[in-house]
């Protein structure tokens, strides 16, 4: 469980930045070269590469180099960590609201 939490922390850290979220969103449409991705953002290539490295080190993207072109591809399996975590949170909140609904309904029936 601790390993899962550490991985999840890294994914959330990587997704905390709007530039990195935009890169993930863009890569959702398919693999893209770093150069093409970088053109979409108002920053220098070295600054953009820091974002790429953060996403890669946290497992959200993979990069491959062919000649002078570095291509990024989204690692959808890593995003499943977030989906699993959100599903777990959602289940907890649904259970709580269901209990609250039963409590309110039962309280109304006993006062009627």
Domain 2-111 belongs to what architecture?
A: Orthogonal Bundle (1.10)
| C-beta separation of 71 from 63 below 8 A | yes
Domain edges within the chain: 2-111
Q: Measured in whole angstroms, how far is the alpha carbon of residue 96 from the centre of its chain?
A: 25
Residues 32-83: tens digit of each pLDDT: 999 999 999 999 999 999 999 999 999 999 999 999 999 999 999 998 888 8
Residue 15 CB coordination number (10 Å): 17
Q: Measured in whole angstroms, how far is the alpha carbon of residue 17 from the centre of its chain?
A: 11
Residue 75, both tokens: 């690692």
Triad 29, 34, 40: Cα angle to 5° = 70
Instruction: Please give the model's pTM, rounded to 2 decimal places.
Output: 0.76
Average pLDDT over residues 19-42: 96
């Amino acid at each position: 469980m601790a390993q899962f939490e550490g991985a999840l922390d890294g994914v959330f850290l990587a997704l905390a930045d709007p530039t990195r979220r935009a890169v993930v969103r863009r890569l959702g449409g398919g693999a893209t070269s770093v150069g093409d991705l970088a053109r979409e953002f108002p920053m220098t290539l070295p600054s953009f590469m820091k974002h790429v490295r953060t996403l890669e080190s946290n497992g959200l993207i993979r990069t491959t180099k062919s000649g002078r072109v570095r291509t990024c591809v989204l690692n959808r399996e890593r995003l499943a960590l977030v989906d699993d975590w959100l599903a777990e949170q959602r289940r907890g909140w649904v259970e709580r609201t269901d209990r609250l609904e039963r409590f309110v309904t039962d309280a109304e029936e006993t006062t009627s």
